[in-house]
A and B are shown apart, each in its own frame.
Chain A
Amino acid sequence: MTSILSSTRTSTRGGASTPPRDSPTALSHTSHENDSLHLSHHGTHRLSSPGNMATEFHNLHEMRHSAALANKVFIQRDYSQGTACRFQTKFPLELNSRMEQALFAETVKTLNSYYAEAEKVGGQSYLEGCLACATAYIIFLCLETRYEKVLKKISGYIQEQNEKVYAPRGLLLTDPVERGTRVIEISVFEDHCSGSSSPSSSCNASGGSSSTSSGDRGSR
């Protein structure tokens, strides 16, 4: 599974194939996240997403271990409704060329709804609180709190979104809990669809021809 970076189109690399870089691991993902990552060796498959969004990153493993990190975008918290955990749905301009606004909005809205569910003060949380208090909170050594259950659901959702939506576009979502639920970190990986040193935004916009030709070369 030779990485895309080894293709001779990228003249700046001097034609040498760059061995897998350690820099993606500098994203400091915790070990448990790496364990849960699917290491799929299906080879590459071409995705025809609308517009010129097709990039060469077709699975998470390949992207993480062979792609170069270009940029990181941070989605901040939305405090307009109080201190509850909510993220802003404003679409960051850096992702304008990489993905559709609707998909991004859907991801953030789903995450917000998960957090709202976790932090809901209602019947179930009263019951949980009273039961726990009656046992001097020792019961939490055995049982999982509702918040922890929802956090697990969230990490499963983020994993799924990364595989289906973000990795094919050369992006990677980081679970907000790893950043103290302060930000959603989106890592933007370099897009090598042309040999020029032009910005990747114009590279994507340069037409489907370059991406389809690169897709041909990228396929095994």
Chain B
Amino acid sequence: MSAVMITRKVRKWEKLPGKNTFCCDGRVMMARQKGVFYLTLFLIVGTCALFFAFECPYLAVHLSPTIPVFAVVLFLFVMAMLLRTSFSDPGVLPRALPEEASFIEMEIEAANGNVPAGQRPPPRIRNVQINNQIVKLKYCYTCKIFRPPRASHCSICDNCVDRFDHHCPWVGNCVGKRNYRFFYLFTLSLSLLTIYIFTFDIVHVVMRSVDSGFLNALKETPGTVLEVLVCFFTLWSVVGLTGFHTYLISLNQTTNEDIKGSWSGKNRVQNPYSHKNIMKNCSEILCGPTYPSVLDRRGVMQQDDSPSLTTAATPSSTSDSTVPQTTKPTAPLIPNEHTPDDAKPSIATSTEISTSLTEESESTAHKVPPLASPETDVEASIAKAAAH
């Protein structure tokens, strides 16, 4: 059999699950809805353009030339932080590959034991002790992993993000472990820029009013009115947001945890991640290591054509259930076109070899339900019961 030769290199970002959009051949990663991000860009660039057009010539002459210079520096910093937040990988956790997913399923089955017929299996939770605090790790049915502590699944981007803070539509991306400091610096510098522009707008109008009266001053610089309007509304929201995140950083909490009230102090639950020292908390987040992305976006896809034929064709010798098995617990020996036909029966024997290696002693080893959501778990367990 001959395969069509694909001469174009396929990079991994093209095959990544999740609802992200990628640009520049995988270098840029954003959420799908970018409309609000464009609005943010427009507001910032537009307001600053008006500032440079109307305020700066007057103030540079009448007050000091350093005013526009500092405004330029601040503007560039704000843009850099915004683009860095929007375009970088927030800390997406790659989904589990089939072998890892089935390994986890097996462990869950082993932990749950035999679920009585018709009953919903217990929720998939792992308890972990961190700094004398029990933290519950939840299972993500989409990514098929137990989420690390502080990770959460973003439904908008359809990814599990490490140290998930929130999904920010203004920035067009999730805010997570890797881009939280850029997001914070963006809000901080934008607050400073807004205050700066607002202040010098007032100064400008006042200075002109002294010369030619208030209404004439406004007629001379119509842009100033627009700037003041934008800055006034931005000020309240952005400065408030910066203050809120400063509070979160000093307590080493994420927005997600704050909203859910995870460490609100009820039942003597305390934040196990906090160093109990504001300086230490701040330095960890702002001066901590810059984590590299674990999502390989620009790697080249392997052109392997091993089909994911999970051994549905291989009869399991100990099982007589009629439950359709879509996955095998272990030994995902994948027959492909290179396996000669006479070697295929050996896969059955090696399946037996590997299943004997597993910890499963019950025959439930061969009755693993399909990797699915909790609803189908119930159906599978009912079907299992029916098969007896």
Contact = CB atoms under 8 A, between A and B. Distances in A.
Interface of A: 12-14, 16, 18-23, 25-26, 28-32, 68-74, 77, 79-83, 93-94, 118-121, 125-126, 128-130, 132-133, 136-138, 140, 145-148, 151, 177-183, 185, 190, 197-201
Nearest to A21: B338
Is chain A's binding surface mostly helix, strand, loop or mixed? mixed
B306 A12 contact: no
A185 B101 CA distance: 12
Contacts of B223: none
B97 interface: yes
A19 B129 contact: no
A148 B291 CA distance: 8
Contact of B273 (A82, A125, A183, A201): A82
Contacts of A182: 93-94, 96, 145, 148
Given A72-B100, A94-B357, A197-B352, A119 B294 contact: no
A73 B107 CA distance: 12
Interface stretch (B17-25, B50-58, B280-288): B280-288
Contacts of B284: 121
A22 B306 contact: yes
B306 A146 contact: no
A83 B163 CA distance: 9
13 contacts: A13-B343, A20-B338, A69-B331, A69-B333, A70-B354, A71-B357, A79-B149, A121-B287, A121-B288, A129-B290, A178-B296, A185-B99, A199-B357
Nearest to A26: B306
Given A28-B302, A180-B94, A23 B333 contact: yes
Given A23-B336, A30-B299, A79 B343 contact: no
A145 B94 contact: no
B32 interface: no
B246 interface: no
Interface residues of B, number: 68
B350 interface: yes
Contacts of B290: 128-129, 132, 140, 145, 147
Contacts of B145: 182
A179 B94 contact: yes
Interface of B: 76-77, 80-81, 84, 93-94, 96-97, 99-100, 103-104, 128-131, 135, 137, 145, 148-150, 163, 182, 185, 272-273, 283-284, 286-292, 294-296, 299-300, 302, 304-306, 330-334, 336, 338-340, 342-343, 345-346, 349-350, 352-354, 356-359
Contacts of B306: 22-23, 25-26
Contact of A177 (B80, B273, B294, B330): B294
B368 to A, nearest CB: 15
A210 B340 CA distance: 27
6 tightest Cβ-Cβ pairs between the two chains A and B? A136-B80, A129-B287, A14-B342, A12-B346, A180-B94, A180-B294
Given A68-B350, A72-B99, A199-B356, 4 more contacts: A19-B338, A70-B357, A93-B359, A151-B292
B372 to A, nearest CB: 20
Contact of A71 (B289, B294, B299, B330): B330
Contacts of B130: 79-83
Contacts of A25: 302, 304, 306
A83 B80 contact: no
Contacts of B273: 82-83
A137 to B, nearest CB: 6
B156 to A, nearest CB: 20
A21 B299 CA distance: 23
A129 B288 contact: yes
A75 B332 CA distance: 18
A199 B133 CA distance: 42
Contacts of A151: 292
Contacts of A126: 283, 287
A25 B331 CA distance: 15
Given A83-B149, A190-B350, A129 B128 contact: no
